């Protein structure tokens, strides 16, 4: 059996997404910036996709900008949001994706901002009281906090953070890459400045994402070139990717409640099976259903003597999982997220992440292999 439990890294394309993209590839090859009939036809397709995304997120199409993915969207929001608004102080957490953390650290090294890293507890929860105190001392800051952590799944109450930022006249950016398509995001209600998404996290194609920019928040382009994306992002649009992104998000919203219940059930089943079959395991992050991303489960195992080989052995057994953020795979540096919440570095930690295509039978298979690898060594 081959089991794919690395959906937080990327998801399989939905067959309906493939169909929509192929149809566009076959029939619509014009450049959307061209003024002739072929170009206008493709421009209409791009704008239709923009309208679909905006409608699902309850916002205006004029506030949705297509990008090459979540990293570009995060960089655009952070760099332009800070520089173009004259902000000298930024606030984030040590748990952020490197697309956020490294960008803010670079701005601090350049002397553009001073950076405050908020405290986190052993479950990866942000100290929101500290956030309010820092905002009170530093109004007009730039705040960047992700909705759900990509490694441990702990959720942050971004509605509460948004209200705090509004109270203290701060700009708020949230990396929602892991939760987009998995939760309802009502951007009119949220009143946030920037939100980012990446299609390949919700069964769309790689290499395409979007940035939501609140119409009250003014920034200049991050990538200069042509007048694409209403002069906000130079470069010919990835038309087929944009079509796939919109179709994937549309499918997610149509199936969201059912899939959320199903995948949450898979996660709870795996938690129960791990507790029953393997002694002395530890779940990293907050695994309470109301506080945790239902697609992610991060586990530390007691078998320290095979720590360096855990993922390799799982791979040999036909199981694809991750040791942390997929964007850092191959690195000798341990997970900054697990380090920040105090996880024992000698114990092997594995992130299992689920999607609508997974089954309980796959979980049973994984539990059996984990017992072979670890139980007798526990």
Q: Quick one: pLDDT at residue 305?
A: 66
Provide the H-helix boundaries in 84-208: 98-109, 128-137, 158-167, 187-190
CA distance 178 to 182: 8
Average pLDDT over residues 253-262: 97
CA distance 186 to 189: 5
Class of domain 3-11+255-373: alpha beta
Q: Note whether 266 and 274 are within 8 A (CB).
A: no
Query: How many CB atoms neighbour CB 301 within 10 A?
Result: 23
The pairing of strands 296-300 and 349-353 is antiparallel
For 231, the token pair is 């002069």
Query: How many CB atoms neighbour CB 198 within 10 A?
Result: 30
pLDDT digits (tens, 9 = 90+) for 126-141: 999 999 999 999 999 9
pLDDT digits (tens, 9 = 90+) for 261-318: 999 999 999 999 999 999 999 999 999 999 999 999 999 998 766 667 889 999 999 9
Q: Quick one: pLDDT at residue 375?
A: 59
CA distance 217 to 223: 18
Sign of CA dihedral 109, 104, 206, 194: negative
CA distance 208 to 206: 6
Q: Where are the domains of the chain?
A: 3-11+255-373, 15-251
Provide the CATH topology of domain 15-251: 3.40.640
Question: In the chain, what is the greatest distance between 2 CA atoms, to the nearest angstrom?
Answer: 69
CA distance 109 to 93: 17
Average pLDDT over residues 182-206: 97
For 251, the token pair is 């499918």
The pairing of strands 142-144 and 171-175 is parallel
User: Judging by beta carbons within 10 Å of its beta carbon (0-12, 13-18, 19+), is residue 239 exposed, middle or buried?
Assistant: buried
Q: Note whether 217 and 194 are within 8 A (CB).
A: yes
Residue-wise burial string across 133-162, b where 16 or more C-beta atoms lie within 10 A, e elsewhere: ebbeebeebbbbbbbbbbbbbbbbebeebb
The set of catalytic residues is 327
pLDDT digits (tens, 9 = 90+) for 18-37: 999 999 999 999 999 999 99
């Amino acid at each position: 059996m081959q089991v794919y439990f690395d959906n937080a890294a990327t998801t399989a394309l939905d067959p309906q997404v493939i169909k929509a993209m192929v149809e566009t590839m076959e029939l619509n090859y014009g450049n959307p910036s061209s003024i002739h009939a072929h170009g206008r036809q493709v421009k209409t397709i791009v704008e239709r996709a923009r309208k679909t995304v905006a409608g699902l997120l309850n916002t205006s199409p004029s506030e949705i900008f297509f990008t090459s993915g979540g990293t570009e969207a995060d960089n655009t929001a952070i760099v332009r949001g800070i520089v173009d608004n004259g902000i000298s102080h930024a606030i984030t957490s040590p748990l952020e994706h490197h697309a956020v953390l490294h960008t803010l650290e670079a701005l601090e090294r350049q002397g553009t901002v001073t950076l405050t890293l908020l405290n986190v507890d052993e479950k990866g929860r942000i100290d929101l009281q500290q956030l309010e105190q820092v905002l009170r001392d530093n109004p007009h800051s730039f705040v960047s906090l992700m909705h759900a952590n990509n490694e441990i799944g702990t959720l942050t109450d971004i509605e509460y953070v948004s209200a705090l930022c509004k109270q203290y006249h701060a700009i708020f950016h949230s990396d929602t890459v892991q939760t987009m398509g998995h939760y309802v995001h009502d951007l009119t209600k949220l009143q946030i400045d920037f939100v980012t998404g990446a299609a390949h996290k919700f069964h769309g194609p790689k290499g395409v994402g979007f940035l939501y920019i609140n119409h009250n928040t003014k920034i200049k382009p991050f990538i200069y070139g042509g007048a694409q994306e209403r002069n906000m992002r130079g470069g010919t649009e990835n038309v087929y990717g944009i079509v796939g992104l919109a179709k994937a998000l549309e499918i997610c919203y149509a199936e969201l409640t059912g899939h959320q219940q199903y995948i949450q059930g898979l996660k709870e089943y795996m938690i129960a099976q791990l507790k029953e079959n393997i002694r002395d395991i530890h779940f990293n992050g907050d695994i309470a259903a109301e506080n945790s991303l239902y697609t992610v489960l991060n586990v530390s195992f007691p078998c320290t003597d095979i720590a360096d080989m855990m993922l390799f052995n799982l791979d040999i057994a036909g199981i694809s999982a991750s040791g942390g953020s997929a964007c850092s795979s191959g690195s000798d540096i341990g997970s900054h997220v697990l380090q920040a919440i105090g996880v024992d570095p000698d114990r092997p930690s594995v992130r299992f992440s689920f999607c609508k295509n997974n089954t309980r039978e796959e979980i049973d298979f994984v539990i059996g292999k984990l017992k072979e690898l670890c139980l007798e060594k526990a």
